[in-house]
Amino acid sequence: MTGLPAPLTLDAIHPHLATRVIGTTLLLHDEVDSTNRVLADLAQQGAHDGTVVVAESQTAGRGRLGRTWLSPRGLNLYVSILLARALPSETVSWTPMLAAVAVLRAIRTLTTLDVRLKWPNDVLAIRSGVGRKLAGILVDGVGTGQASGRAMVVGIGINVNMPVAAFPKELRATATSLLIETESPVDRGRLLATLLGELERLYDHACAHGPGDIAAAYQAACDTIGKPVRIELLGSEKIEGTAEGLASDGALRLRTKNEKVLEIRAGDVVHLR
């Protein structure tokens, strides 16, 4: 690829797409406020399982913990997928991790990068022993418009062809893109189609067999487990300890300095080495 990265078009996605359900309806927008918001509205109007919304840019991209997600035009992937099948109940809390494993596998398919996960669902590129964030996941529970119907909107942002100069200075030490890491542009259509394929495989498996294999794949790829960490909880509380492992619902088990084991379900993790 030379010059500017190609625009994302259906023609650039479909030749690579080999899914059965996810992406059967794939809506590609030039600009939206947030693909998660657009898809939540469509779910309310009866959109079917596996509907996908993609945008070239977002004016109000949302991140975890009320943050914004930087969404410049034409460089990255901003995608939301509707998961509307009834999952085994113990699987629901693993959905963000399932999506993180799908992103990791898609990136590993297209690149040779050392990609790992930071609890709960940040995707990191490891370079010279340092992890920088490549992708993030935001899962919203949504109504489906049918009595008591619930579904999940899985929102995924991947920094694909974003050069260093497009990141605000304060993010440059902690965030990165596939372009920065691989030193060449990545085909966003192929990456999206590969991601949807990996997601469908894991989703089908979780629907049929529950979360066991997904939990195992997640733990194998998780860079947090075994590390000394600081957890920044909602509000301003911070706790330090060692990330020991995961509870059966995916919560992070943290052993504090005074040997208490806490189960953390929301918060931001900082790896201390």
Find the shortest distance in angstroms from Cβ 13 to ligand BTN: 16
The two three-digit tokens of residue 119, written as one number:
């609890």
Which single residue brings its beta carbon nearest to ligand BTN?
136
Residue among 113 and 156 whose Cβ is closer to ligand BTN: 156
Sorted by sequence, the CB contacts under 8 Å of residue 62 that are 6+ apart come out as: 34, 36, 37, 68, 69, 138, 155
Residue among 74 and 210 whose Cβ is closer to ligand BTN: 74
Find the shortest distance in angstroms from Cβ 239 to ligand BTN: 20
Residue among 84 and 99 whose Cβ is closer to ligand BTN: 99
Taking CB under 6 A as the rule, which mask of x and - marks residues 40-69 in contact with ligand BTN?
Answer: ------------------x--xxxx--x-x
Q: Which of 96, 120, 131, 157 binds ligand BTN (CB under 6 A)?
A: 157
Chain positions 3 to 32 lying near ligand BTN, rule: CB under 6 A, are none
Alpha helices in 53-94 (DSSP H): none
Residue among 33 and 90 whose Cβ is closer to ligand BTN: 33
Rule CB under 6 A: say whether 137 interacts with ligand BTN.
Answer: yes
Cα atoms in the Cβ-side hemisphere of radius 13 Å centred on 21: 16
Residue among 92 and 139 whose Cβ is closer to ligand BTN: 139
Alpha helices in 133-240 (DSSP H): 178-182, 188-209, 212-221
The two three-digit tokens of residue 48, written as one number:
């079917």
What is the maximal distance between C-alpha atoms in the chain?
Answer: 57
Please give the angle made by the CA atoms of 171, 126 and 249, to the nearest 5 degrees.
90
Q: Which of 50, 96, 131, 155 binds ligand BTN (CB under 6 A)?
A: 155
Residue among 208 and 269 whose Cβ is closer to ligand BTN: 269
E-assigned strand segments in the chain: 26-32, 52-58, 77-83, 115-118, 122-127, 130-143, 150-158, 228-232, 238-246, 252-256, 261-264, 268-271
Chain positions 176 to 235 lying near ligand BTN, rule: CB under 6 A, are none
Find the shortest distance in angstroms from Cβ 259 to ligand BTN: 31
Find the shortest distance in angstroms from Cβ 180 to ligand BTN: 17
d(CA 107, CA 190): 11
Residue among 62 and 105 whose Cβ is closer to ligand BTN: 62
Segment near ligand BTN (CB under 6 A); pick from 135-143, 193-201, 218-226, 264-272: 135-143
Strand partners, 135: 123, 158
Give helix then strand counts, H and E, for the chain: 6, 12
Which whole-number Å values give the CA distances from 59 to 36, 68, 248, in the listed order? 12, 10, 37
Which residues are near ligand BTN by CB under 6 A? 34-36, 58, 61-64, 67, 69, 78-80, 122, 136-138, 155-157
